[in-house]
Structure 1
Amino acid sequence: MTTPVLLTLAATLLACALLVLGLHSYAGGRSQRAALLERLSASGEPEPAGRRRRFRTLDRRLRRTALGRRIELKLATTGLDLTPGEFFAYMTAAVAALWLVAAALLAPFFGPVAGLTGLWSANAFLNWQRARRTERFINQLPDLARILANATQAGLALRTAIGIAAEELDAPAGEELGRVTHRLALGHSIEESLGELADRLPSRELSVLVSTLVLSARAGGAIVGSLRNLTVTLEQRKETRREVRTQLSQVTVTAYLMPFIGLGSLLMVDAMMPGALARMTGGFIGQVAVLVALGLFALGFVAIRRLSKIEV
């Protein structure tokens, strides 16, 4: 072979070797990036350990969208052991099932109505879970303030006191304070970490406690006396909230019974006169009448919930 041919072959082999190395490095970089994205969510926290996660591909694609980020933010405030992809898949399956069941049992017109109701119910479930978790956290605030006061009185720093409270308290306070401790270990300030906790579980009691801790950490002062007084106040507010919730329990049950009364009426009509709902929703006037009736039931539910909502 001549010299130009040998040089050409050598250059070709070198280019192929570099191409293989480049593809190998590119594939390794993509796998490392995917693993990093799985470990670090938008909130900067590691993925929860435990069971094997499902719908990983859907979860990765969903997190890149605005809808996925909103779902992830809501799930972070509920404490549910679900990823955005899992919640979206389960919600889609439930909506499809409700659509098919309503269309089969009642009439085809009620399929989309049941689907929209399923979407609203999924969002309402997240809001209810968040309110329930916030309520449980508020009930633990007196114990949290007491532990912080005792630890501070013993001469420990506020960061160390928060870590002790995270180990001593049960969920959800222990889990939430564990997140705060994790962010403090990563170098975030106390004000930023506690402020994120107050945004995640909004309540007046937690806002007062966070303000007390932040001001004490920033300007100093008698933090032990402040926490002692705050503990007594939180205990009194806890009892007041329990009394108010007991007084309004009957009104709350009435609000939730109204939609079921409407659904029961539809099932009764269809049982007494088979095919009546299909004939009623077969025309435009019947569809409008059904939608107006459903809207009135929804309006009654919202009105009762608004009137019975008392901020303490």
Structure 2
Amino acid sequence: MNALVLYGGIALGLIALLVLVFLVIAPPAPRVALERRRAPGAVQVSTLSRVTDRTVEAIDGVISKRTNPLFGAAELERAGIRMSPPSFVLMVICTSVVFAALGVLLGSGTPWLIPLLLTFAVLPLLGAKLLLGVRAGRRRTAFAEQLDDALTLLAGSLRAGHSLLRAIDGVSQETDSPIAEEFARVVNETRIGRDLGDALAGTAERMRSDDFQWVAQAIAINREVGGNLAEVLDQVAHTIRERNQIRRQVKALSAEGKISAIVLILLPIAVFAFLLLIQPGYFAGLFSSIIGVIALVVAGILLVLGALWMMAVVKVKF
């Protein structure tokens, strides 16, 4: 098995070398451009593109039947990823296949073949889920940080005589992402017939922002009873600015506890992996006896419980 893997690696290396030499370093002489050899209006679709399109359609058919897909359109929107769910799922599946092959190469000829295969195949799924969560969290944080300035700009546009929708459109053109993207989406949804209050409420729900929920409610109330909307938005912006200041202060005060929790969680795992790598026989007694296996399982459970406890303690909800 090891010899087969070695020969396969050598063959792949030689193929890569040939591709590098004959297609990159010394490419063939240029010929007539492909666009000139095609008939006007003809669209040439490669076999790979056709296979990819059919695969995406099959994945889309499977996702459409699920009420709660693993990677839904709303989750991708919150993370700011401009990909359709079937395309994103296909990318994750391809990455899982590549990682699974890497696990097979690393564990070939050892009893760790199946565990490494399964572990490396699951890693892209967990990584994609973690990536979406991290990107969505950063996008919500940036939205909250930009909201007070956007409201000040919106109030200024209203004082200058612009309508509310025109003022929102102006904010979408003058601010950065994600405020610009969300306000532009509100304008586009309103233009195709959606009520402005519903569009603003949808943005607040999508971004999970209580502050913007206040803005949507203030605008909805003003549209019903009238009044000086610019002054209302100024007051809301002032309140949000003070809340952001307190939020930053709380974040700074809790940073030390969060770092301590991360270190205490990762330190046992890092030490265990380091010793297992440089001296595998050090833990032979734990893996060879039932008591040792039970001890490892109990240690893992306690580590997970301790991690959940510490993360709950250092997480300040504001």
TM-score by length of 2: 0.70
Matching residue within 103, 107, 115 for 1:100 = 103
Query: Please, what is the CA RMSD of the aligned residues?
Result: 3.3
Q: Distance in 2 between matches of 1:293 and 1:108?
A: 24
What CA deviation, in whole Å up to 9, does each residue of 1:132-189 have, x standing for no partner? 1111001111111112211222232211111111111110000111111110011000
C-alpha distance 116-300 of structure 1, shift in aligned 2 (>3 A): farther
What CA deviation, in whole Å up to 9, does each residue of 1:259-291 have, x standing for no partner? 432332222332353256677446665554434
- Map of 2:309 onto structure 1: 303
- Map of 2:213 onto structure 1: 207
C-alpha distance 106-157 of structure 1, shift in aligned 2 (>3 A): farther
Amino acid of the structure 1 residue aligned with 2:135: Q
- Map of 2:90 onto structure 1: 89
Offset, 1:119: 3.9
Offset, 1:124: 3.1
> Are residue 226 (structure 1) and residue 232 (structure 2) matched?
yes
Q: Distance in 2 between matches of 1:153 and 1:59?
A: 50
> Are residue 64 (structure 1) and residue 67 (structure 2) matched?
no
Amino acid of the structure 2 residue aligned with 1:220: G
What CA deviation, in whole Å up to 9, does each residue of 1:46-70 have, x standing for no partner? xxxxxx9996435533541425475
- Map of 2:246 onto structure 1: 240
Trace 1:139-218 onto structure 2 (pairs within 5 A): 139-218=145-224
Paired positions, count: 261
Matching residue within 138, 150, 163 for 2:144 = 138
Partner SS state of residue 311, structure 1: coil
Counterpart contact for 2:59–2:90, Cα < 8 Å: no
C-alpha distance 280-71 of structure 1, shift in aligned 2 (>3 A): farther
Counterpart contact for 2:56–2:90, Cα < 8 Å: no
Counterpart contact for 1:180–1:193, Cα < 8 Å: yes
What CA deviation, in whole Å up to 9, does each residue of 1:84-131 have, x standing for no partner? 234323434555627828974994585446665654443233222211
Q: Distance in 2 between matches of 1:127 and 1:61?
A: 25
- Map of 1:124 onto structure 2: 130
Q: List alignment gaps of at least 5 residues for structure 1.
A: 1-51
Trace 1:254-293 onto structure 2 (pairs within 5 A): 254-274=260-280, 280-281=286-287, 286-293=292-299
> Are residue 77 (structure 1) and residue 75 (structure 2) matched?
no
C-alpha distance 261-87 of structure 1, shift in aligned 2 (>3 A): farther
Partner SS state of residue 297, structure 1: helix
Q: Distance in 1 between matches of 2:239 and 2:139?
A: 21
Counterpart contact for 1:102–1:110, Cα < 8 Å: no
Amino acid of the structure 1 residue aligned with 2:89: F
Of structures 1 and 2, the one with the larger relative CO (CA 8 A, separation 6+) is 1
C-alpha distance 192-257 of structure 1, shift in aligned 2 (>3 A): same
Counterpart contact for 1:144–1:169, Cα < 8 Å: yes
Q: List alignment gaps of at least 5 residues for structure 2.
A: 1-51
Offset, 1:192: 1.2
C-alpha distance 208-159 of structure 1, shift in aligned 2 (>3 A): same
C-alpha distance 129-298 of structure 1, shift in aligned 2 (>3 A): farther
C-alpha distance 109-63 of structure 1, shift in aligned 2 (>3 A): closer
Partner SS state of residue 227, structure 2: coil
Q: Distance in 1 between matches of 2:167 and 2:187?
A: 10
C-alpha distance 310-164 of structure 1, shift in aligned 2 (>3 A): same
Amino acid of the structure 2 residue aligned with 1:263: I
Amino acid of the structure 2 residue aligned with 1:61: G
TM-score by length of 1: 0.71
